[in-house]
A = this chain, B = another copy of it.
Amino acid sequence: MGSEPSGRVAASGGRVAVALDLLRERNERVTRARQAVLETLDGTAEHLTADEIVSQAESIAPGVHRATVYRALATLGELGLVTHTHIGGAAAVYHLALPAPATARHAHLQCTRCQAVIDVPVDILAPLTATLDRDLGFQLEPDHAALLGLCADCRSAR
């Protein structure tokens, strides 16, 4: 399944390795729990909820605790390595913000009927971002909360 030659993380080039380096750089400790969280996030293109991260991290670092995952996500978030998005009023989803914090960012649309989450490039929000900036001085974080509405399927279905 994995593209790594061995069971270990690649020594260079991998996003996890980059993240771990940044941890060391900031004098944050490199722990099994944090590695497991980073590898989990690196291993999926999906948006993972904290609970899903717990499950998957569990298989990398058995015994890792839910609370620890939350704390790791908070720390990694403060360092800018991980971002989260609030989906409606429910659980937040997390993703790795690497290689560059501003690259490949996407916003989320969620359907209020079927709950589907649709990724859209942040570009779509660029005009709005500019407007809010110009008119109100508000610096939008376009990927920090999902936009809610009805998806195409549910619109035609009802």
- Interface residues of A, Cβ cutoff 8 Å to B: 86, 88-89, 92, 109, 112, 118, 120, 124-125, 127-128, 131-132, 135-141, 144-152, 155
Contacts and interface: CB of A to CB of B under 8 A. Distances in A.
A148 B144 contact: yes
Nearest to A143: B148
Given A124-B135, A131-B124, A145 B146 contact: yes
B118 A136 contact: yes
Contact of A141 (B89, B112, B131): B112
Contacts of A118: 136, 138
B138 A132 contact: no
Nearest to A155: B139
Contacts of A138: 109, 118, 149-152
A131 to B, nearest CB: 6
Nearest to A84: B89
A120 B132 CA distance: 9
Contact of A148 (B112, B136, B141, B152): B141
A10 to B, nearest CB: 34
Contact of A137 (B86, B127, B137, B155): B155
